[in-house]
Structure 1
Amino acid sequence: MYVDIGNVLDGTPGVSRDALERMDESVAAAHERIESGRADAEHGYAALNLPETADADEIRAAVEPFGDPEAVVTVGIGGSALGAATLTEALADESDPDAYYLDNVDPERVSALVESLSLSDTVVNVVSRSGTTAETLSNFLVVREAMDDAGVDWTDRTFVTTGREGNLRSLAEKHDLPALDVPDGVPGRFSALSTVGMAVAAIQGHDLDALLAGAADEADRLSGSLFESPAYAYGATTYALAQRGALTNAMMPYAESLEYFAEWFAQLWAESLGKDGVGQTPARALGATDQHSQLQLYRAGPRDKLVTLVRPREREDRAIPETELEGLSYLGGSSLGELLSAEFEATEASLAAAGVPNVRVEIDRVDERGLGELLYGMEAACVLYGELADVSTFTQPAVEWGKRAARGLLGGGDFEEADAVAEKTTLVVE
């Protein structure tokens, strides 16, 4: 992964080279804390050990009995789905089994997907560490019922990814389902490079070893200086800009295959860093599409934003045909890749000219190795940001509050959070 922070030096807000050098002492101290956490496999920090601890052979063995299905449906939510979706969307090939994600409980969406699938040739992957996630278990019950109704033995088409104990573990043991362990000490949003994120990629035949090797390469670049580590350069710079008022981070990949990566990044950044009245709000954009919409705000709106521009340095290309249309002849003989690259650099320069801080993040290619570098690098950047901001990076108390409220409303227990729903202030306009 390559990170260019040159366009934050003169932005508004911006952070000077001198300020970065002064902050480097804090980065060194944070790196020592991170390395200590990794050495002891502490909760959260253990995620940064996944390039060494994840077992690709174990994952391949668990999914091998399913052969080459027509489709794979992952039933999970949040970190139980976004990492896997990022990998399968980025690596998608026409020959791959189709990958679908039931990561919401919208009844119309769930019904439409279930009814569209050939369930006898579909594999179901149910992902929940606790085995009690309401949305996940509800969707699984719907899928299981649909399989029963279609005369499909769901036990032959299902595997689970879960903790060592809980409802799903008991279900797997009762029905002799293949089961993968969710790794200890790894929060869901940091689990893309584990059993949680890589099982579907394994079914599709993607190279898990290259994915982990890319992550390991990025782990090797972590050091006590932001000037020696791309991940720390990004984490330290985003933190410094947030301190100076850049409280929105617009993640803008210039590759449609990385569109889901922006979704994954949004959860990682928001859930990890939004604590104690601090944090940086992630926004999702896609280049070059959103040059024609969101860029207007980023360039000319409030000076409270950082734009992160992401692209591969190499990609497949397609020539633009010659045309007789007046004013467009300059496009003939060029290519879509060259046009997209020009759009990327034009956006970067446009933001810099307006004094809007922006960071360039690049990988060699959107392949397994490149994705391993990118995902690991962003996770390490997030952990460093959390250390510098002194927040509890690996917890999510606000999320848990909402879960308890919903469970109480559904009769799953007596939770005081559910009482707050009845206290809602209303001002209805009809």
Structure 2
Amino acid sequence: MEVDIGNALAEAADPGVDRSALEELDERVAAAHERIERGRADGEFGYAALNLPERTDPDAIREAVAPVADAETVLTVGIGGSALGARTITTALGPDAGANHLVLDNVDPEHVRRVLDDVDLGSAAVNVVSRSGTTAETLANFLVVREAMEEAGVDWSERTVVTTGESGPLAELATERDLPRLAVPEGVPGRFSALSSVGLVPAAILGIDLDGLLAGAREAADGLAPSLFDCPGYAYGATAVALEDRGATINAFMPYSERLEPFAEWFAQLWAESLGKDGRGQTPARALGATDQHSQLQLYRAGRADKLVTFLRPRERPEQRVPDVEHDDLAYLAGTDLGELLDTELRATEASLAEAGRPSVRVEVDALDARGLGELLYGMEAACVLAGELTDVETFTQPAVEWGKAAARDALAGESTERTRTLEEKSELHVD
């Protein structure tokens, strides 16, 4: 993983970071790194996530999924961190760019019905994930899936793998029905759990290289250093914080690869849920290059100067030559390659922003393979943890999220609480 912050410097952009300010910031990075390393060494809550490349046992995961290794499709039932990491990995590395990995991470009845109608449940593996085993959306969807399998004459207990905590309804069910079961790692918030059983079960079933993925992450872990000038993840996190302090309160994350589109969604949860506290935090916006440069770039270049644009690209791409055509207006395309065109589009977008004085950062990996993706996932997690240290927020908690979950549970249970009263007292002004 390599990070280029040149177009985020004050000499290139406004808001931008002076080189002298970057040197001063580096002293804070060194102190933050010391705190992060202490947290890792002690296995503290949250910091333990940065130890997953060493802690995760790929053989244990492959052994657990062996009973469903013949599955043609994986159906993950989870939400948030219990699903986003898994989808990110299978879309980036899967044999069919994630088409054989379906995810039920919402309780939209139309969507759930359509997914279940389209999948061959007899040849599918169900991957149900919930740390507590009580997540309302996950449990509701799992019950619907179970019923659909029974109606299709499929023994759901022979096609289901459970990833959950030590106790709770899912843990009890796994014991009662002798289901393959993997543990959610201790001390790791869901959004930081992609490199554990939480994110790797579908990948294991689909034959993705878990060893390479974890090896890439270990390389990134070994590269953590007490300076933003020596550590790509820290360079990204520190630059993002410096730009936020100078008014770039939106982070438009823009991969130039279809296979990395879910990575932007994974990043959005990581960045928002971890750093959006105490009046702080950049708002992540998801975009896809080159598609969205034909629309959103207008705002990024000429709208309010409150955005950092993060470009993400693999350096290596498969070849796809553009055929020659006998038309003068299209002569410039003759002999080019789609990958070359896509990379040129990125550089043109980067230049467009720079010409307008708008900051951007480019993140690159050598190739979109298992090692590259492992390095990228770990690097962004390290960037997020560093950003939390620099902004002095509780990176690993999510009180606003928990409030909403509790309010929904109370309302569904018909309980009268302070949270449900807030629901009932909603301000209304109807316009028909």
Tell me, yes or no, if structure 1 residue 2 matches structure 2 residue 16: no
The residue type paired with residue 241 of structure 1 is L
Please name the residue that 2:401 is paired with: 399
Aligned pairs for 1:246-395 within 5 A: 246-395=248-397
Distance 1:187 1:42 in 2: 12
The question of whether the paired residues in 1 share the 8 Å contact of 2:228 and 2:235 is answered with yes
CA positional deviation for 1:122? 1.0
2: distance between equivalents of 1:127 and 1:79? 9
Q: 1:412 deviation in Å?
A: 6.3
Whether the 8 Å contact between 2:87 and 2:98 is mirrored in structure 1 is no
Q: Does 2:162 align with 1:160?
A: yes
Q: What is the CA–CA distance in structure 1 between the aligned matches of 2:47 and 2:220, rounded to whole Å?
A: 15
Contact 1:96 1:204 in 2 (8 A): no
In structure 1, list runs of 5 or more residues that go unmatched: none
Residue 37 of structure 1: which of 26, 39, 44 is its match?
A: 39
Give the letter for the 1:102 counterpart.
L
Cα distance in 1, alignment partners of residues 152 and 234 from structure 2: 52
Q: In structure 2, what is the Cα distance between the partners aligned to 1:289 and 1:259?
A: 11
1:177 to 176, 179, 188: 179
1:146 counterpart = 2:151: no
Partner of 1:72: 74
CA deviations on 1:34-70 (whole Å, 9 max, x unpaired) are 0000001100000000011011011000001112212
**Post-superposition shift, 1:415?**
3.4
Deviation of 1:326 (Å): 2.8
Equivalent-residue separation in structure 1 for 2:185 and 2:97 (angstroms):
30
Deviation at 1:152, TM superposition (A): 1.0
Once the two structures are superposed, residues 78-125 of structure 1 have per-residue CA deviations (whole angstroms, 9 ceiling, x without a partner) of: 000000000001112249881000000000000111122211111101
- The one-character-per-residue Cα deviations of 1:131-178 (angstroms, maximum 9, x if unpaired) are 000000000000001111111111101110000111100000000000
**What residue in structure 2 maps to residue 204 of structure 1?**
206
Q: Does 1:423 align with 2:422?
A: no
Pick closer, same or farther for the CA change 1:266–1:208 going to 2, 3 Å: same
Contact 2:94–2:208, Cα closer than 8 Å, also in 1: no
Within the candidate set 210, 223, 227, 1:221 is matched to: 223
- The answer on 1:190 being equivalent to 2:192 is yes
Q: CA deviation at 1:254?
A: 0.4
Structure 2 stretches lacking a partner, 5+ long: none
Per-residue CA distance 1:185-215 (angstroms, 9 max, x = gap): 0000000000000110010101101000100
Q: What is the rounded CA distance, in whole Å, between the counterparts of 2:300 and 2:182 in structure 1?
A: 43
C-alpha distance in structure 2 between counterparts of 1:147 and 1:319, whole Å: 45
Contact 1:404 1:418 in 2 (8 A): no
CA contact (8 A) 1:273 1:280 kept: yes
CA contact (8 A) 2:40 2:50 kept: yes
| 1:321-373, Cα deviation, whole Å (9 max, x unpaired) | 00112311110111101101110111111111111110010001111100001
Alpha-carbon distance, 1:217 to partner:
0.6
Letter in 2 for 1:377: G
Judge conservation of contact 1:160–1:179 (CA < 8 Å) in 2: yes
8 A Cα contact 2:29 2:226, kept in partner: yes
**Letter matched to residue 193 of structure 1:** L
Partner SS, residue 124 of structure 1: strand
Which string of whole-angstrom CA distances, capped at 9 and with x for unpartnered residues, describes residues 290-332 of structure 1?
A: 1100000000000000000000010102000001123111101
Deviations 1:233-292 (A, max 9, x none): 000000000000000000000000000000000000000000011100000000000110
TM-score scaled by length of structure 1: 0.99
TM-score w.r.t. length of structure 2: 0.98
User: Equivalent residue of 2:229, what SS?
Assistant: coil
Conserved 8 A contact 2:2-2:363: yes
> Match of 1:327, SS?
helix
RMSD (CA atoms): 1.1
Alignment of 1:235 with 2:237, yes or no, is: yes
Q: Secondary structure at the match of 1:73?
A: strand
Q: Paired residues, what number?
A: 430
- Whole-angstrom CA distance in 2 between matches of 1:14 and 1:358: 9
1:291 and 1:116 map into 2 onto residues whose CA distance is 33
* Partner SS, residue 3 of structure 1: strand
Q: Output the amino acid matched with 1:61.
A: E
Q: Is the 8 A contact 1:72 1:97 kept in 2?
A: no
Asked if the contact 1:70–1:97 (Cα under 8 Å) also holds between the matched residues in 2, the reply is no
Measured in 2, the distance between the counterparts of 1:413 and 1:64 equals 43
CA contact (8 A) 2:90 2:98 kept: no
Letter in 1 for 2:234: Y
Counterpart CA distance in 1 for 2:31 and 2:18 is 21
Counterpart amino acid of 2:64? A
Contact 1:291–1:347, Cα closer than 8 Å, also in 2: yes
What is the CA–CA distance in structure 1 between the aligned matches of 2:306 and 2:216, rounded to whole Å?
Answer: 33
Q: CA 1:102/1:412 → structure 2, altered by over 3 Å: closer, same or farther?
A: farther
- The one-letter amino acid paired with 1:258 is L
Q: Secondary structure at the match of 2:328?
A: coil
The structure 1 segments of at least 4 consecutive aligned residues displaced by more than 4 Å after TM superposition are: none
**Are the equivalent residues in 2 in contact too, given 1:68–1:97 (CA < 8 A)?**
no
